[in-house]
Amino acid sequence: MAHMLVHRGLGNKRLVENTIQAFSYCFKKKYGIETDLQVTKDNKIICFHDFTLKKFKINKNISDLSLKEIQSVGKKFKFEIPEINKLIKISKNRHYIMLELKSLFSKKSILKLLKLTKKHRNFCITSFKEENIKNIYKIRKNLKLGLLFASTSKPEKIIKKSKNPYVKLLVMEKKFLGNRKLLNIKKPIYFYTARSKLLRKKYKDRNLIFEYI
């Protein structure tokens, strides 16, 4: 059966991405979610896509700010930038979570992430940064770890990378949906981001990361 995940929890156009409100909406609709993880200056792991706060017209990096500073900015715009532990709590181990590591996580941050997800079973960890996946694999080989690929990636490179033991699944841009060579890979493949309902209908047998339920 195909696996469907909501990109950044964007199940409704009225909701803000990567927020508890958005995640809760998706879980209520019985869908899993994909979310992005960043690390703050005080080593707190938050659900946030961007490396900076420029979307709030603040030219500062997430890695240079404490959790308290970041959350105070969110409150001004009337939404919460949540820590990952809040997401895990509301998922209640019933809804699938794909955690994408945006930055290169230090060993300290990786250990914290593994501690926070220790009792959770229904999740995977992915990243465009292969070093993140390698470093986690050295510590916990049994985790579902995935490598992300952009639309510019060469199919030959994707196939080669898929053979590494630390790559348990692959996540690639939707342009590869029709690539037969890639579909022969004997590991789970997810495709992002399926914004069109027609696209979702056409490829309903594939694992899709989509927006708007």
CATH number at residue 176: 3.20.20.190
For residue 127, what pLDDT is reported? 98
For residue 188, what pLDDT is reported? 98
Residue 148 sits in which domain range?
A: 4-50+83-210
Nearest Cα residue to 101 out of 155, 145, 65: 145
What distance in Å separates the CA atoms of residue 17 and residue 47, rounded to the nearest whole number?
9
- pLDDT at residue 76 is higher than 90: no
Phi and psi angles of residue 193, each rounded to the nearest 5 degrees, phi first = -105, 120
Does 67 map to a domain?
no
Provide the residue count of the chain.
Answer: 213
Query: Which pTM was predicted?
Result: 0.96
Show contacts of 86-94: CB within 8 Å, 24+ apart.
Answer: 86/20, 87/20, 87/23, 87/35, 87/47, 88/116, 88/117, 88/120, 90/20, 90/23, 90/24, 90/27, 91/23, 91/27, 91/120, 91/122, 93/119, 93/120, 93/121, 93/122, 94/27, 94/122
Work out the pLDDT band at 79, boundaries 50, 70, 90: confident
Does 65 map to a domain?
no
- pLDDT at residue 1 is higher than 80: no
Domain count, the chain: 1
